[in-house]
Amino acid sequence: MKKGLGLRSYTIFYLIVLYAPIIILPMFAFNNATTVAFPLQGFTTQWFSEMLANTNLRKALVNSLIVSLSSATLATVLGILAARSAVRYSWPGKGLVMGSIMVPLVLPEMIVAMSLLVLLLAMGIKLSLFTIILGHVLMCMPFAVAILTSAFQTLDKSLEEAALDLGENAWSTFRLIVLPLVMPGIMASFLITFTISIDEFIIANFLGGGEPVLSVFIFTAFRFPATVPPVLALGTMLVAFSIILLTIAEYFRRRGVAKAGGKDSGGFL
Amino acid sequence: MANTPTAETRAGWSLVSVPAVYVLLMLAAPLLLVFGLSFVGLQGGAKVALPLQEGQDLQFTLSNYAKLFCLSASESCSSTDVRMAQATTTAMLRSLFVAALVTLTTVVLAYPVAYYVSFHVAPSKKALWLFLITIPFWTSYVIRVALWRTILGYDGAVDATLGAVGIIDQPLNLLQYGTASIIITLSHAYAPFAVLPIFVSLEKVDHSLLEAGQDLGESRWTTFLRVTLPLSMAGVVAAVLIVFIPTVGDYVTPELIGGGKVPMIANFIETQMWKLRNQSMGAALAVSSMLIVGILALIFVLANRRFLGVRK
């Protein structure tokens, strides 16, 4: 397969370029120099200790955790309702409703953020962490619905019918049969939406009313050369954290596919 | 349980009602409000800054849109209006140009990757490859974009590598070429977006058609051009839209990479809506840019409709 070999080397090269920034990030986070330039100057953990000592950063971290945990939980709960409804029942208007839920995927984020901002201002709602959560749930829901729809689709309907025939009611069937089988999908959805929320910048910046969160902290720090090295240390930890979460999410997704006895056909979406 | 159509409909609707109402309140209502705001103004042409103060009455007006077309000075256009309209037009054209080049780059570079994973990777390994391709996309967008500053900038990775190999003796500092740096950064950031839809459409290609093509005397290359490529065009069209629309509206990259010197349309919308609190003007800008992007997307889909209709 000569043709396959060429394509293979191209794909590997493509992956290396794709990962280049993430590989360069820790190199400079541990680099003993105040400027971010090659050649590297030597190893140091100074930037990590400087970062951990920063009180603004700790505040931002706590805020980010509040926002991301709430957004991921709400988006996943709303996602379960929408995905279950779309997969299990047929009802008029399904295409329109499910399509609308997916719209934030194809709208530029600035449009979503600014329209929400205008609505909140018009209603006189004070901007806070809560308003960031409102926006993040909207942005995260399409991903939750996509993951959970495929989780519910792998579910064998005859299992539910069997439970009903054996005398369980609708709720206990859902709790005893459906929920355990889609649990890996729910975990995957939670982890993915958590990652999206903690990384999201535009809504966090404009709907936060000045409350610091991690992505805004990073954005601001990158504009001033003096604050760049500590923020590279922060970035290294965040990227490592994201990759760990995603790997766990992928594990749950695969386990879900295996549990339902399906064939693994691809990634999250 | 839900055996009659009405009971089934009721069950479906009651489940979906909460997320549906959420989207209605948090997405549909804000978008409608922006649309409405773009057509209103205050007495005497003062800017509309929400929330409205006591005694401010909104009136219907087309002046927000008219100001966007103030490309030369006249009785209705002050010199400030003209400067603003010209700068906005430049930013809009720049956004479209950047997004078009980014889309072309990502889709052309992504196609072989999607093709390789779909046609040459063992089915059990496909999920792993897709996972590897999508990981960078799930890590912080701001961090990835900001890192390109250190790669492209003075004495960054590009300068260091080319210098070490001996191709250049002076640092290039590619960052000084704002638009080019923005295109490179965005092409990198949106790469996985292009791979996934193309991969999905390639997975649906019936391999017996390819064998038939080769049995009938086509070469590998002509089979690809005449069978595989047309059958996967639906994925290419999806990839184009999924990359083009968000990149037109990108805000972070012009700020961090262009240093605010080469603004795109989202930076102008943000300036009006946020910095200047001129929300009806910002709304007109948002509506017009969405309209332009929408029309372009529609033309593109219609131009490719013969590929989209052939799928079973």
Q: Is residue A38 part of a domain?
A: no
pLDDT at A3: 59
Q: How confident is residue A63, by pLDDT bands cut at 50, 70 and 90?
A: very high
Q: Which of A185-199, B175-189, B267-281 has the lowest mean pLDDT?
A: B175-189
The CATH code of the domain that includes A220 is 1.10.3720.10
Q: For chain B, what is the radius of gyration of the CA atoms?
A: 25
Touching A: B residues 73-102, CB under 8 Å: none
Task: Give the one of B34, B155, B242 whose C-beta lies nearest to A115's C-beta.
Answer: B34
3-class DSSP state of B41:
strand
What is the tally of structural domains in chain A?
A: 1
Q: Which residues on chain B are in Cβ contact (under 8 Å) with A28?
A: 150
Q: Phi first, then psi: give them for residue A236, nearest 5 degrees.
A: -60, -45
Read off the pLDDT of residues B204-250 as tens digits, 9 standing for 90 and up.
888 888 888 778 878 888 888 888 888 889 899 999 998 999 999 99
| Residue A185 domain flag | yes
Which of A144, A166, A163 is CA-nearest to residue A78?
Answer: A144
Percent helix / strand / coil, chain B, rounded to 5: 75, 5, 25
SS3 assignment, position B77 = strand
Range of the domain at A78: 46-259
Over residues B124-143, the pLDDT tens digits come to: 888 888 888 888 887 888 98
Task: State how far the Cα of B32 lies from the Cα of A115, in Å rounded to an integer.
Answer: 9
B2 pLDDT band, cuts 50/70/90, is very low
List the single best residue of A24, A77, A111 to mutate versus B (max B Cβ within 10 A).
Answer: A111
Q: Is B58 on the interface with A (CB under 8 A)?
A: no
Residue in chain A lying closest to B256 (CA): A223
> Looking at residue A73, what is its pLDDT?
97
Give A175 to chain B, closest Cα distance, Å: 15
What's the ipTM? 0.87
pLDDT band at A1; cut points 50, 70, 90:
very low
Provide CATH code, domain B66-309.
1.10.3720.10
